[in-house]
Amino acid sequence: MKVRGGISLSRGEIDDPLVAAANALADRVLPSDAAEPASMQQQPAAQQAAGRPIFHESARAQVGGTATYVDDIPELKGTLYAAPVLSTVAHARLLAVDTAAARGMPGVRSVLLAADLPADPMLAAFAHDEPIFALHTVQHVGQVIGVVVADTVMQARRAARQVVCRYEELPAVLSVREALLAESYVLPPVFVRRGDAQAALARAPHQLHGTLEVGGQEHFYLEGQLAYVVPQEQQQYLVYSSTQHPGEVQHWVAHALGIDNHAVRVECRRMGGGFGGKETQAGHMAVWAAIAARHLQRPIKLRLDRDDDFLITGKRHPFSYDYSVGFDDTGRLCGLRLMMAVNCGFSADLSGPVADRAVFHADNAYFLQDVEIASYRCKTNTQSHTAFRGFGGPQGMIVTEAVMGDIARYLRLDPLDVRRRNLYGLHERNVTHYQMTVEDNILDPLLSKLELSTQYRERREAISAWNLKSPAIKRGIAITPVKFGISFTATLFNQAGALVHVYTDGSAQVNHGGTEMGQGLNTKVCQVVADELGIDFGCVLATATDTSKVPNASATAASAGTDLNARAAQYAARNVRDNLAQFVAGLDGCGAGAVRFSGGQVSTPRETRAFADVVKLAYANRIQLWSDGFYRTPKIHYDKTTLTGRPFYYFAYGAACTEVAVDMLTGESRVLKVDILHDVGTSINPAIDMGQIEGGFVQGMGWLTTEQLVWNDKGHLATHAPSTYKIPATGDIPEHFKIDFWPEPNREANVFGSKAVGEPPFMLAISVYEAMRDAIAATKPADELVRLCAPATAEHVLVALGSSAADEAW
């Protein structure tokens, strides 16, 4: 028998692949040469659920193929299928739409355009700038002009291609630099200043000026965008949506149909990935399907083809930067002027808060004393870009990390030394450029520990020696830190609700406003509820997110899903537990504080009873066995007009050491080694947190190396399928990939002492980009800067190398 982190394996279960996988994951969580922490050693039945590497609550169903996604829901009799009609030009007046050929095709029931909309023709987005269907103009290739509804999916898709649109083409803005020249913006520019950056630059001993271009990223969720809308009685609608924000889908559908929110119920049991791409843009599918359902009074399913998904939906925002930096002989910053130009696409969507978060995270781990940041939210004729893991944070950090690398090369210093010289301090140099004091700073000891554990100095010397002898293959190494703020920057979204029901057999059910997209939110919530009630993890079931149960829930985003929803669920469970404690205290003549719930038992100084027996007895005495819970994040406040305040409850920290090899002849690269030290607080589930760190890093690596979005000069996205858009594959994972947790709980009173882990690891992959620049620098004079566009594809690497480097390698 083997026990790892509470996962027990009897002889009869040894061949269970899921348990074997869970044990293998626990082996990675727990170093083989170290004793297991006390919280993860084999414990009696009373041990807590939280803190253990329990496998995902849906894992068995997912491995067995029985987990239900929206497309798996049995379709009702009479279900019809919708497919979108797409614009084929980037910018034009829409003169006419001829639907005759499409209507005459087999199985077609209807073609719906803007003229068929029952209410406001604009989506209920906050900027009110995006039409449901194109009105008088089209603004990007792939904009939805209408939908075709037919008896089958393929009939609808074929007919959609037969809709003929007549255009009068208009000039299209296809790049950020063009938008800047034209002053084409979806939102006004934002400026944040502290001190006098211009004066600081003037008196600095050294100055550098540079530009950087960083591309976007396709979400590439395994489950594409879809919705299934079922008309109900009395003008009500049931919407099954693959969405991170059921409440927003409810609002958008109600707004589009001209009905009250209470007439729309949205349900989401799980998503097959989201990464931010289903925060707002899942609402489009639901609205289009709902409009068709209203017109035809039939259930409607709309599932995008993968190519159409690429063309219709937004990506991570591409950024362009200009910077001027002043610094002293040691590499410490004196002043920084930074221009960020954000490619927002044709409408605002979430571009405002994304660009704001990029401004907030332009410091990353570093104190910026005299700084001036200009953020331009540019309108282009492309898809409307949207949320993506990190939500602007990665785009804010990467430019500052590039500046640190440039300073180090210019001064011929080790980049790690320059980075450490600029870190936030503990008692001084500890206030951000948006006036938030950094109170939980662990950056310096965390970097010191990673530097020693990875033998960074010795490896740098060995790499230098390698590069002297190897003309074709150069190696590079870099350590980069992460300081990522946790909370929605819009304060009102930092709230959550939950319901906990305890049944008479002692089992419990929890429902909350968060959504499960594979990240393990429901698993962690169940662990917290189980501990609050003192029962086994297996006795708690999380049910589908449902707007009729928890209303007005915030999106599952900003890495705050567990912080918000697990705490709300904990409070709900605590209310039920307190009801039971008062009841049992009355039976045994003791105070409610003397009643203990643990290991499925309820104990007082006088007697111990099974939890299920107590529940039955409480029910017979008419004690309430369900409750709601509500949580709002404390301490946070934020002035949107000045971008100052305390927008974040706390920071999550981490650092990564990455070694790469780059082929000077072909531009190809490979990540050789990755070591990560990451701050998760006291982990609620080490196995899930490990998976989030691994996945986040690899996804970030893809953003910065292989995932290139290419629009041609007509505005057509050329990389719209797996054949042309390259996400990391198994062969790209480094053989040496080691992750350790920083051993300290959250200093704020967060649930279980944990920290958010969804987004912060993504930015650890900036170490890959910096390591590649380090390798390329081996071909250049010591103080020559490396200009490398991201993603660092083979083509971009060759451009950064220049022809002379390739000739020398030959």
Catalytically annotated residues = 759
Q: b or e along 369-394 (b: 16 or more beta carbons within 10 Å of the residue's beta carbon)?
A: bbbbbbbbbbbbbbbbbbbbbbbbbb
> How far is CA 84 from each of CA 222, 702, 714, rounded to the nearest angstrom?
20, 30, 21
Contact criterion met (CB below 8 Å) for 84 and 288: yes
Q: Who contacts 372 (Cβ-Cβ below 8 Å, separation ≥6)?
A: 191, 192, 193, 197, 198, 336, 337, 338
In three-state form (DSSP H/G/I as H, E/B as E, the rest C), the secondary structure along 385-421 is CCCCCCCCHHHHHHHHHHHHHHHHHHHCCCHHHHHHH
> How far is CA 122 from each of CA 134, 213, 284, 709, 729, rounded to the nearest angstrom?
9, 33, 11, 28, 40
> How far is CA 247 from each of CA 170, 206, 391, 551, rounded to the nearest angstrom?
37, 52, 20, 7
Q: Which two tokens stand for residue 663?
A: 């082929």
Nearest partner of 682 among 256, 23, 50, judged by Cα: 50
> Strand 626-632 vs strand 495-502: parallel, antiparallel, or unpaired?
antiparallel
Q: b or e along 176-190 (b: 16 or more beta carbons within 10 Å of the residue's beta carbon)?
A: beebbeeebbbbebb
Q: State the DSSP H helix or E strand holding residue 809, giving kind and residue range, or none if neither.
A: helix 794-809
Q: In what order do the strands lie in the sheet with 596-598?
A: 596-598, 601-603, 608-610
Contact criterion met (CB below 8 Å) for 176 and 318: yes
Contact criterion met (CB below 8 Å) for 494 and 650: no
Contact criterion met (CB below 8 Å) for 315 and 350: no
User: How far apart, in whole angstroms, are the C-alpha atoms of residue 674 and residue 435?
Assistant: 34
Phi, psi of 335 (to 5 degrees): -160, 150
Any bridge partners for residue 108, and if so which? 150
Residue 642 burial (10 A CB sphere; 0-12, 13-18, 19+): exposed
Task: Determine the 3-state secondary structure of 777 from DSSP.
Answer: helix
Q: Who contacts 427 (Cβ-Cβ below 8 Å, separation ≥6)?
A: none
User: How far apart, in whole angstroms, are the C-alpha atoms of residue 454 and residue 51?
Assistant: 27
Residue 105 burial (10 A CB sphere; 0-12, 13-18, 19+): middle
Half-sphere exposure of 318 toward its Cβ, with a 13 Å CA cutoff? 29
Q: State the DSSP H helix or E strand holding residue 773, giving kind and residue range, or none if neither.
A: helix 766-777
Q: Which two tokens stand for residue 666?
A: 């072909």
User: How far apart, in whole angstroms, are the C-alpha atoms of residue 313 and residue 84?
Assistant: 12
